[in-house]
Amino acid sequence: MQLTIQNVAKTYANGVQALKDVSLTIPAGMYGLLGPNGAGKSTLMRILATLQEPDAGSIQLGGLDVLRQKDAVRQTLGYLPQEFGVYPKARAEDLLDYFAVLKGITAQRARREVVERLLRQTNLWEVRRQRLGGFSGGMKQRFGVAVALLGNPQLLIVDEPTAGLDPAERVRFLNLLSELGEQSVVILSTHIVEDVAELCTHMAIINRGQILLEAEPLRAVEALQGRIWRRIVEKSALPQLEQEYNVISTKLLSGRTLVHIYSEEALGGGFEPIAPDLEDVYFSTMAGHCGRAVAQPNEQVQV
């Protein structure tokens, strides 16, 4: 199973061009779509979920035309949007059973088995009789995954799933997504670099509606070896550094500023080389430096 997106574009009525000629090849497994808020991630996710029409382009899921065979796609699609509502007075087991009926699982015994399996898989079986209004943010997200998994989807889309979760709930949720990625195409749309670093074998970086980079995270990090330098400076020195060097990120550290710089040549002046991570890949790409470093033979990298 593979998802192929070719030359997809979308402009809203107010003139905002949300997607500009987006092309991606997404294999089975966990795929990260990484970008800042407003980059076009949610627009692309809604188009893939058959909730929105693009202005141009084509999308294929295996042998299905996503734009022309919407009903067939919906039968094999699971979608967890960034924000979704639940009936606060409904019990988890009852509401999941109701959604199972809507999904076409009408036989009572089969439905009961599916509901139990999904609640156990999402670690909600012990609280199945609790009302959803009393669930924590992480529990609601896991319930949303249970709903999205009805019908054993071949394509699962999750949009900003860990935003607002506490660290413990985030770990539980990421572990759950990791298990799901073994069986289908799972697209994780997020602005949190750590989520992609911990889960995804393939990724793309999007900004202002354009794909800036498509790569394997480990290879992208390896390609930056020897190109990332750091130095701790006073905040007042930052403007001068930004004029002299390719500053890709800054971070406050004990009242001072930790600066990361992209350079293909060795730097003196107190800079030290560091082992890059995916955050450096992200910021280098956003600054326009990373495409050349990551590109491999016969690969087309858009910057």
Instruction: Return the H-helix or E-strand segment holding 291.
Output: helix 290-294
Q: Are residues 70 and 208 in the same domain?
A: yes
Per-residue burial over 133-166, b = 16 or more CB atoms within 10 Å of its CB, e = otherwise:
eebeebbbbbbbbbbbbbbebbbbbbbbbbbebe
Helix/strand/coil for 22: strand
Residue 90 lies in a domain: yes
Which tokens in the block code for residue 280?
A: 């450096």
Residue 62 lies in a domain: yes
Q: Are residues 45 and 191 in the same domain?
A: yes
Higher pLDDT: 171 or 244? It is: 244
Identify the pLDDT of residue 227. Answer: 94
According to DSSP, residue 157 is labeled E
| Lowest mean pLDDT across 58-72, 148-162, 175-189, 272-286 | 175-189
Average pLDDT over residues 59-75: 93
Backbone angles phi, psi at 139, to 5 degrees: -65, -40
CATH number, domain with residue 185: 3.40.50.300
Q: Please answer whether residues 276 and 224 qualify as being in contact, where contact means their C-beta atoms are separated by less than 8 angstroms.
A: yes
Burial class (CB in 10 A: 0-12, 13-18, 19+), 185: buried
Residue finishing a domain among 215, 242, 268: 215
Backbone angles phi, psi at 214, to 5 degrees: -130, 120
Q: Does 228 have pLDDT greater than 80?
A: yes
| Lowest mean pLDDT across 96-105, 157-166, 183-192, 236-245 | 157-166
Question: Residue type for 181, please?
Answer: G
% of the chain exceeding 70 in pLDDT:
94
Q: Residue 251 is part of which domain span?
A: 221-294
User: Beta partners for 260?
Assistant: 230, 249
Alpha-carbon torsion 201, 207, 209, 211, what sign?
negative
Kindly give, in sequence order, each residue whose CB lies less than 8 Å from that of residue 31, ignoring residues fewer than 6 positions away.
Answer: 185, 186, 187, 188, 200, 201, 202, 203, 204
Longest Cα–Cα distance in the chain = 72
What's the pTM value of the predicted model, to 2 decimals?
0.84
Q: Does 165 have pLDDT greater than 50?
A: yes
Helix/strand/coil for 5: strand
Q: Are residues 6 and 149 in the same domain?
A: yes
Round to whole Å and give the CA distance between 151 and 7.
30
Q: Does 172 have pLDDT greater than 90?
A: no
Q: Are residues 145 and 188 in the same domain?
A: yes
Higher pLDDT: 22 or 181? It is: 22
Residue finishing a domain among 196, 215, 234: 215
Residue 299 lies in a domain: no
Q: What is the pLDDT of residues 89-135, one digit of tens each?
A: 999 999 999 999 988 898 999 999 999 999 998 889 999 999 999 99
Q: Are residues 203 and 226 in the same domain?
A: no
Average per-residue pLDDT in the chain?
88
Q: What is the pLDDT of residues 238-286, one digit of tens each?
A: 899 899 999 999 988 878 899 999 999 998 888 999 999 999 999 999 9
Q: Are residues 95 and 210 in the same domain?
A: yes
Alpha-carbon torsion 144, 148, 152, 155, what sign?
negative
Question: Domains in the chain: how many in total?
Answer: 2
Phi-psi region of 16 (alpha: psi -120 to 50; beta: other; left: phi over 0): beta
Identify the pLDDT of residue 292. Answer: 45
Residues shown for the chain: 303
Average pLDDT over residues 225-247: 91
Banded model confidence at residue 296, pLDDT cuts 50, 70, 90? very low
Q: Are residues 116 and 205 in the same domain?
A: yes
Identify the pLDDT of residue 291. Answer: 57
Round to whole Å and give the CA distance between 139 and 117.
16
